[in-house]
Structure 1
Amino acid sequence: MTTTLPAGLVALPGVYRPQADTYLLSDALAREHLGPATEVLEIGTGTGALALQAAARGAQVTTVDVSWSAVTTARLNAWMHRVPLAVLHGDFQAHTGGRRFDLVVSNPPYVPAPSGRIPSRGPARAWDAGPDGRAIIDRICAGAPTLLRRDGILLMVHSGMCGADETLGRLSTAGLTAEVAAKASVPWGPVLRSRRTWLQQQGLAAEAEEREELVVIRARRS
């Protein structure tokens, strides 16, 4: 995978650093048309890497994250790279009421977790997303029609473990035209390895499975 992510990003402790899913989404973002009139929303910014990539191409970018550490990190990286970003703290739906965008980008939490309770603090809030990994994915699917302008695009990456067909179905039901735009197979990370027994018990992973499929979902509002 190639990437056009900015170099030299910093990350405060507990902030999700760019990894394989970030790079895959970055490649998909690079294929979208962006310009000075393009308004972009990023949901869950982390270091701000994807937001900076879009802003560097001239787009007007708003990004939002529930983590103050991520917000501070993204603001710091924007300042260091001299790229304008509007970085907001809180829930994406609370900050976007009534606003529509040409492009919505998200690398949301999507790792299945034994607890049905979404973490409110700590590093795990960047990846834990309930027993099926869809707690945030489903909210984005439901909110996409009101976030996107006509012909607006949603780009979202998540694990195939969460069910790409489920995401496509929910977006289709919401009135969007959706497809899997990219895939990648990557080795399991430490979080998945630590949950191997539970994932197998839930039918989310096969015995001795060592690789995870990542998917980028691309959806357009007609």
Structure 2
Amino acid sequence: MTQTRFAHIEVDDGVYAPQHDSLLLCEALDQVDLVAGKRVLDICTGSGILAIEAALKGAREVLAYDISPDAVACAARNAERAGVRVDARVGTLADARRAGPFDVVISNPPYVPSDTPLKGTGPNRAWDAGANGRVVLDELCDLAPELVTPGGSMLIVHSEFSDPPQTISRLQGVGFDARQVASQVVDFGPVMLDYAERLEAAGLLEPGRRTEELVVIRVDRR
């Protein structure tokens, strides 16, 4: 069990531990007054760090979904440890849609381009996202009109390797304003180091480069 710099977050083996992407999204959430008094969805919750941050910032209700039962159990324990109420549920984006709509949706979804079969609920499902890194991002874009209330917002973090401009373009095309609001260049973590040669072979990564730009996209429904 690993403890992060967030005292209330402990991460079980097999659950995605908060890293640069989670922290960048938390910082973006700090910069805006989006969640106080609102109904919030954290999709792909992992350890629950984002759901808990939303609850600590005064959200009226927070639902946190993940396909991994281990992650959901971890998120629920972390919320209890933080002294906040988070309704952590095992489920998919389709399940979240049925529980919606929401005033605010926050997400750190899988976004790493991968040729690994997307099966089961193992730890790799926290990052593997198909050949273009957009399996979950595309579904999130498709379901956004049903997930978000009129006047509502989304904050989504992902890597340059999963084509953030495509997210912006797709969401602008279905009635949202979308723009990049934060970015950070970071050294590859363990997953990206492991996948680097594969990304180079696919022409997605310059040979020898071992950094990536993470971006946060803010989306507001018109």
- Which AA in structure 1 matches 2:69? W
Instruction: Compute the displacement of 1:61 (Å).
Output: 0.8
Deviations 1:102-122 (A, max 9, x none): 11000000111123x313132
Specify the alignment match of 1:156 in structure 2. Answer: 156
Q: Any idea what the Cα deviations from partners look like across 1:177-209, whole Å, max 9, x if unmatched? A: 100111100001222222222211212100111
2 CA distance for matches of 1:35 and 1:10? 24
Correspondence 1:1-222 to 2 at 5 A: 6-34=6-34, 37-59=37-59, 60-97=61-98, 99-115=100-116, 117-222=117-222
Percent sequence identity over matched residues?
A: 39
SS of equivalent residue, structure 2 residue 213: strand
Paired residues of 1:110 and 1:134 also in contact (CA < 8 A): yes
Q: Which amino acid aligns with 1:213?
A: E
Distance 1:121 1:38 in 2: 30
Cα distance between partner residues in 1 of 2:86 and 2:120: 25
CA contact (8 A) 1:183 1:215 kept: yes
Unaligned runs of 5+ in 1: none
Which residue identity does 1:76 align to in structure 2?
R
Is the partner of 2:153 in helix, strand or coil? Answer: strand
**1:158–1:35 Cα change, 3 Å:** closer
SS of equivalent to 1:37: coil
8 Å Cα contact 2:180-2:218 kept in structure 1: yes
Q: Is the Cα contact below 8 Å between 1:188 and 1:212 reproduced in 2?
A: yes
Q: TM-score, normalised by structure 2?
A: 0.93
Deviates more, 1:168-177 or 1:63-72: 168-177
Alignment length (residue pairs): 217
Q: Name the TM-score, length of structure 1 as normaliser.
A: 0.93
Q: What RMSD, in angstroms, separates the aligned Cα atoms of the two structures?
A: 1.5
Say if 2:105 and 2:155, in contact at 8 Å, map to a contact too: yes
